[in-house]
Structure 1
Amino acid sequence: METSKVKQLNTNLIKAILKTMPGKTKADIADATGLSQATCNTILNELVSIGEVLELEREAFGGGRPAKRFMYNGDYGMVICLYISNDGKKPVLTYAVANLLGILKEERTIQKKSVDYSTIEELIGELVSKYKNVKSAAIGIPGVVIQRAIIDICDIESLVNCPMAEKLQDKFGIKASLENDMNLTSLGYYQQHSYAKDTSIVVINFLNDICPGSGIIINGKIISGYTNFAGEISYLPFGYNASSLKERKEIIDCVVKTICSISALINPETIMVTGGLITEDMIDEIRSGCINTIPERHMPNIIYQHNIHDYYIKGLTAMAFESLPDYLTIENLNNTKELLWLLT
């Protein structure tokens, strides 16, 4: 491997350590990464010089030996998290701006008469102008997204077939990624609750006057399927017009059949139920209906969540970070350290 690539891996290792363990000395960082103190010293000096890492006062972390300590500067960059929702009335844009440590700097919801690509571009443009160091934008779509770039099926017709990611990247020079709304919500839920890596969870969403959808996480990864169609539960052949469910009995019946189908196919640990058609007092009936079909020992935990906003934003933030060229988490830190050991 080229020397420059090895150095980049070393740099990413050090940044990953500092993002999760602020206030470490060069010796601490060398021990955590397996790099020499000389290598850490060179990289830290470079990161401090550009402002991506901050050198703390020697006494900032209490007593002990007065060695220099460092922390990652989250405000070195920002990511934009934006999602479009449509409850059968007017479309709504919700956005948040987070720094590179995931700390939210701004959050807002805007109701629009209509939404098309120009609406999204205008809002992204305003935020890029306001925050000069935007690194990426992650956008949630109520529909099918192909390769995190092109909108296929969508509840908002004006966005169908829009190559939004490419257009935004060309316009603003930042990485842009798109993903299905329920996929992002399920990812955010999974990460928020710190599930074990081999856990499977599903989020199902039943909204008023809109086809239901779901997001599937298996082993910590979004399951999109061969053509990104996985999770489109409105196409299950239950004999309902899923976008016009009204009566309580048929809503519960449809949810029960959906949960039973998902349980038989992937046997998830947890299924979270949400959406305007669902109320918390339905959950016991839904659970009882499922037990009539699925043996109780194989039943998932069925939970109700009224507001999924925080999970959605967390999923968007995770996708925005993942799109960055220096993305590295502590989870794959050991793999990177092993690779560097083999190369040196």
Structure 2
Amino acid sequence: MSKVSTVNQVKEHNIALVRDVIHSSVEFTKHSVAQATGLSIATTNSILNMLCEAGEIVAIGNVSSTIGRPAAKYAYNRDYAHICCVFPSSAGSQRYLFYSVFDLLGNSVEQNQVWLEDVTYESFEELLSSLLEKDPSIKKVSIGIPGYYDNNHIHSCTMTGLNGCDLTGKLSERFPCEFLMENNMNAIAYGLYDARREHGHAPTALVVVSFFEGSGPGSGIIIDGKIYLGKSNFAGEVVFLPYQDGNIYDLVNQGPESIVKSTAQVVSSYCAILNPETCVLTGENLSADMCGPILDRCKHFIPEQHLPELLYVSNYNQYYQNGLFRIALNNPYH
């Protein structure tokens, strides 16, 4: 690693620390930010001056003081930029693009869904053209996909019209925004991790395992607060595991008992390889009452003390949106 890249990484890390503090503060001073981040006053001062010049924060007066020079107070400019989160989904045989536009504090500005016959590059282009015309403050677009990507090209996507497409590359040529793209399970996992972190329960390793209606299993991995992608963004593609009882798509169609056995194989595999603290199950083909039977099957292969906390969440869309938003805000990669 070169010295230049190391210096840049430290700078970006420090900026992210400062942003994390000021996002959650109604108002702040340079001294309060330095205390909260552990950064020096000089470093904090440099970062806040840069953010102020860019318009990301604004001066709102001074702290009352009877001794010495009063400290300047700042507030975060939530509308400095907006972030658009968009992902394709389906309801039965119908497909749609769901989108949410957020301010920088995560408040929803607008959200809706656009129903389509098929999801293609043109679907994204048409939607974003309309959104950017209405809201030029959109500076980042965070896209979720039900598949994986390698060199920005989409593969194994259930929205088959996107397979082989360099979606973010083409959109970057068309619109003056920063585009990010992530697998749906990684985004959901990061949204769940962020929610637990906010409540003081951030696990060192968290995995999410899904069985969505009409598809095989999926998974996302968070290690030390970072999305783990693997060598070619293939990490978590548990649909390719060698399932004991046959083809996973056939097993899903055999009903709940078969899904319990297959999910237990996925969870057991993670226990042996990653030993996560928390495993979250989601998707229409799973339910809260399956957690007990899944853990019981895992005990056939894994000693009980190594099993994770096993949870089920039904409403994964809120975590999907939050994950895409936080990905755009924090760049949570290894």
1:110 paired residue number: 114
1:240 paired residue number: 246
2:170 equivalent to 1:167: yes
Selected match of 1:276 from 249, 271, 284: 284
2:307 paired residue number: 299
Selected match of 1:129 from 133, 138, 142: 133
* Identity across matched positions, percent: 32
Shift of 1:137: 0.6
| Matches of 2:65 and 2:175, distance apart in 1 | 47
2:234 paired residue number: 229
| Matches of 1:225 and 1:27, distance apart in 2 | 39
Q: TM-score, normalised by structure 1?
A: 0.81
2:146 equivalent to 1:142: yes
Higher relative contact order (CA 8 A, sep 6+): 1
2:88 equivalent to 1:80: no
| Matches of 1:291 and 1:44, distance apart in 2 | 52
Is the 1:83–1:93 contact (alpha carbons within 8 Å) kept by the matching residues of 2?
Answer: yes
Q: Cα distance 1:262–1:176, how it changes in 2: closer, same or farther (>3 A)?
A: same
Selected match of 2:297 from 281, 289, 294: 289
| Matches of 1:261 and 1:104, distance apart in 2 | 38
2:195 paired residue number: 192
Any idea what the Cα deviations from partners look like across 1:119-139, whole Å, max 9, x if unmatched?
111111222112112211110
Any idea what the Cα deviations from partners look like across 1:36-56, whole Å, max 9, x if unmatched?
59x94x986776576432232
SS, match of residue 161 in structure 1: coil
Shift of 1:81: 0.7
Selected match of 2:101 from 89, 97, 120: 97
| Matches of 1:24 and 1:43, distance apart in 2 | 14
Letter in 2 for 1:301: E
Shift of 1:92: 2.6
Structure 1 spans left out of the alignment, 5+ residues: 328-344
Letter in 2 for 1:209: G
| Matches of 1:16 and 1:77, distance apart in 2 | 16
| Matches of 2:259 and 2:119, distance apart in 1 | 29
SS, match of residue 155 in structure 2: strand
SS, match of residue 287 in structure 1: helix
Q: Cα distance 1:284–1:48, how it changes in 2: closer, same or farther (>3 A)?
A: closer
Any idea what the Cα deviations from partners look like across 1:301-339, whole Å, max 9, x if unmatched?
11111111111111101221245xxx9xxxxxxxxxxxx
1:71 paired residue number: 75
Shift of 1:220: 1.6
| Matches of 2:129 and 2:158, distance apart in 1 | 24
Is the 1:15–1:72 contact (alpha carbons within 8 Å) kept by the matching residues of 2?
Answer: no
Letter in 2 for 1:92: Y
Letter in 2 for 1:213: G
Structure 2 spans left out of the alignment, 5+ residues: none
